[in-house]
């Protein structure tokens, strides 16, 4: 395995949810860089490595350290929660490493929160889906609001990432107000929290109820489309197969 930066999606956070490829590469990396909370989840399984951790919002620093170590000839794992590519660190490390063409970058895909949460809720993503982050730290709210309009108008299933934060307590409510202009108040909604971690929990509710709900930061929100129903206590978006009743 060459020196370089291996950007690894660790999935929901438990070792069982990682791909074998990710585990094998982590075993061979001598240096591991990541957000403090994620590193705490995996450090005990990879005790051999030198670690560099920073808290939230210091992503650029982490990428810089990873690139720096790679330039020194190390095999460096840069950890992302979920998938490294979906709202993950993969983009930033390409940006930070521009100018250091000699640094190899490899992205190792993982199971993102939308997939892991969907599996717990049932099968909400079986039809066309949008992922929208409600964080306006890097995207202006006007852009987010326009995307919510577009996604709702297009009858996409909508997965909300970063739905809330201390500073953004009412953003899910703002999003609901937009979506309610297009969808029935009875539209099924699923919320998954602490996916794959201690305290994992899901709940099913309606779009109308979501507008009243207090969420925590570690939540992923799934808003059904016009084909989403509750079947056997699970949230399922129909793809449109005609199931012949008599054959069931």
In this structure, the strands spanning 188-193 and 219-223 are: antiparallel
**Using the rule CB under 8 A, which residue among 32, 118, 172, 179 binds its own copies?**
118
Q: Shortest gap between Cβ of 130 and its own copies (angstroms)?
A: 5
CB 148 within 8 A of CB 179: yes
Kindly indicate which of the ranges 48-56, 165-173, 201-209, 233-241 contains the residues binding its own copies, using the contact rule CB under 8 A: 233-241
Return the residues of window 15-34 that contact its own copies according to CB under 8 A.
15-21, 23-24
Q: Shortest gap between Cβ of 212 and its own copies (angstroms)?
A: 25
Kindly indicate which of the ranges 26-34, 46-54, 71-79, 231-239 contains the residues binding its own copies, using the contact rule CB under 8 A: 231-239
φ and ψ at residue 201, rounded to 5 degrees:
-160, 150
Structure tokens at 94: 């390409």
In this structure, the strands spanning 234-237 and 122-123 are: parallel
Q: Which residues contact 167 (CB under 8 A, 6 or more apart)?
A: none
Q: What track of x and - describes contact with its own copies for positions 141 through 180 (by CB under 8 A)?
A: --x--xx-xxx-xxxx------------------------
Residue carrying the six token digits 């794959």? 196
Beta strands in 89-143 (DSSP E): 105-108, 122-123, 129-133
Nearer to its own copies, 153 or 170 (CB): 153
The answer to whether 109 contacts its own copies (rule: CB under 8 A) is yes
**Using the rule CB under 8 A, which residue among 47, 55, 99, 199 binds its own copies?**
99
- CA–CA gap between residue 33 and residue 30 (Å, rounded): 10
Nearer to its own copies, 39 or 63 (CB): 63
Return the residues of window 47-86 that contact its own copies according to CB under 8 A.
59-60, 64, 83-86
Structure tokens at 128: 């066309």
CB 30 within 8 A of CB 129: no
């Amino acid at each position: 395995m060459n020196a370089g930066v291996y950007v690894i999606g660790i999935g929901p956070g438990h070792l069982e949810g990682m791909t074998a490829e990710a585990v094998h590469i982590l075993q061979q990396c001598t240096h591991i860089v990541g957000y403090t909370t994620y590193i705490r989840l995996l450090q005990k399984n990879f005790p051999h490595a030198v670690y560099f951790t920073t808290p939230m919002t210091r992503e650029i620093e982490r990428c810089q350290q990873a690139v720096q170590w790679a330039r020194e000839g190390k095999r460096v794992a840069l950890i992302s929660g979920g998938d490294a590519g979906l709202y993950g660190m993969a983009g930033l490390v390409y940006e930070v490493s521009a100018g250091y063409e000699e640094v190899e970058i490899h992205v190792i895909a993982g199971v993102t929160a939308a997939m892991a949460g969907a599996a717990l809720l049932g099968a909400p993503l079986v039809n066309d889906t949008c992922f929208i982050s409600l964080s306006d730290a890097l995207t202006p709210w006007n852009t987010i609001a326009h995307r919510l309009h577009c996604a709702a108008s297009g009858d996409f299933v909508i997965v909300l990432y970063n739905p809330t934060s201390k500073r953004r307590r009412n953003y899910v409510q703002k999003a609901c107000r937009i979506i309610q202009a297009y969808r029935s108040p009875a539209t099924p909604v699923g919320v998954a929290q602490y996916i794959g971690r201690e305290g994992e929990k899901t709940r099913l509710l309606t779009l109308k109820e979501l507008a009243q709900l207090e969420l925590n930061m570690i939540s992923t929100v799934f808003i059904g489309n016009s084909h989403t129903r509750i079947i056997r206590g699970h949230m399922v978006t129909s793809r449109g197969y005609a199931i012949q009743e008599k054959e069931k």
